[in-house]
Structure 1
Amino acid sequence: MFNPSRDQVRSFFIETWRKYLAKEVLTPMETIAADIIALHPEYHALVEDPDAIDRDFPPEAGQANPFLHLSLHLAIEEQLSIDQPPGIRAAFEAACAYRGDRHDAMHDALECLGETLFSAQRNGAPPDGGAYVAALRRRAGLAL
C-alpha cells in the first residue's frame, strides 16, 4: 500500500479482521495488522462492521479516528522492521525499556509520529525523521 485511499485502508483492516476471525490464511502484512487490532478490543466492533468504511470521526467531536490509530501502528511496525528513519529501532527499544510495556511504548511512538506528520503538514515540508527519532528518545528519557 503505497498511497491507498481512505476506503482502501479501512477495507484492509476490516477484511484482515474478518479473515483473522474466520481463521483464513493471512499475508504477512495482514498478520501484523491483525495483531495490532487484537491489541485494541475497543475497535473490534468497528472493524467487524463493513459499514464502518463510511463513518466519520471528526476531531471536534472529541473522537479519535480508530483507522488512523491502527494505520499509525502499522506504519511504525514497518519503520521498526527496516530501522527507517535511522535510529527509530534503538529509540523504540529504549522506550520499551523505559515504559516497561511494548504497547505503551508504541503509543509514545504514535504520539511522536503524529506530531511529526502534523508539523510537516503545517510547514508544507517533508516529515523530519531526525526530529521524530529525537522526540521518541526524549520520551524514553534519553539525552540527545
Structure 2
Amino acid sequence: MFNPSRDQVRTFFIDSWRKYRAKEVLTPIEHMANDLVLLHPEYHALLEDPDAVSKEFPPEGGQLNPFLHLSLHLAIEEQLSIDQPPGLRAAFESCQARRGDRHAALHDVLECLGETMFDAQRNNRQPDGEAYVSCVLRRAG
C-alpha cells in the first residue's frame, strides 16, 4: 500500500501545479489534483512558493492546512469514482442537487470525511463507511 510522507504529498501537489503551469504532460492523478487546485485560487501562491513543503499550519493559528484540504479532496474524488464506501456517490449526488454546486457539495463530503476520520482515530478503530455516507445524506437534507 502506498503511504506517502507529508513532504511527498506536498511535493506532489507543488510539482503537479508547476507542470500544469508549464504546460507539461500530466499523469491522470496530476490532472485530478490540478482540477482541485483550480477550484482553490487561494492556494496558488502557496503552491508556487519553493518553501511551501516545510511550512507549518498549526490548528491554533486558525489557518486550514491547504495540503490536507487538497488531499482530502483528492481522496473524495477517488472514493466517488469507485463508489466506496457503497452509496457515497448517490449521497453526494443528492447533496450536489440540494446545493446546486459541485464544489460546495464536495466540501460537505469533506466535512463528513473529516468527522469520520477523527472518530476513527479517537476510538482507535477503522473508519465507519456507513456513518460517513449517513453524514453526507444528512447534509443533503
Same fold flag (TM > 0.5): yes
Please give the alpha-carbon distance, in whole angstroms, between the structure 1 residues aligned to 2:101 and 2:2: 30
1:117 counterpart residue number: 117
- Please give the TM-score of this superposition, normalised by the length of structure 2: 0.98
- Structure-1 separation of matches of 2:136 and 2:57: 27
Query: Cα offset for 1:50?
Result: 2.2
Residue 48 of structure 2 aligns with which residue? 48
Aligned length: 141
Corresponding residue of 2:2: 2
In 1, Cα distance between the equivalents of 2:30 and 2:50?
17
- The code of the aligned residue for 1:114 comes to G
Question: In 1, distance between residues paired with 2:2 and 2:64?
Answer: 23
Match of 2:7, as an amino acid?
Answer: D
Moved over 4 A (4+): none
Task: Name the residue aligned to 2:65.
Answer: 65
* AA of the residue aligned to 2:58: P
Structure 1 unaligned blocks of 5 or more: none
Equivalent position amino acid for 2:123 in 1: N
Where structure 2 has 5 or more consecutive residues not aligned to the other structure, the ranges are none
Structure 1 counterpart of 2:126: 126
Q: CA deviation at 1:2?
A: 2.2
**Match of residue 39 from structure 2:** 39
- TM-score for both structures, normalised by structure 1: 0.96
Give the counterpart letter for 2:37 in structure 1.
I
Percent identity between the aligned chains?
Answer: 74
The CA RMSD measured in Å over matched residues stands at 0.8
2:21 and 2:63 map into 1 onto residues whose CA distance is 26
* 1:49 positional shift: 1.1
> Deviation per CA, 1:83-137, whole angstroms, max 9, x where unpaired?
0000000000001001000000000000000000000000001100110000000
Q: Whole-Å Cα distance in 2 between the matches of residues 62 and 137 of structure 1?
A: 28
The match for 2:75 is 75
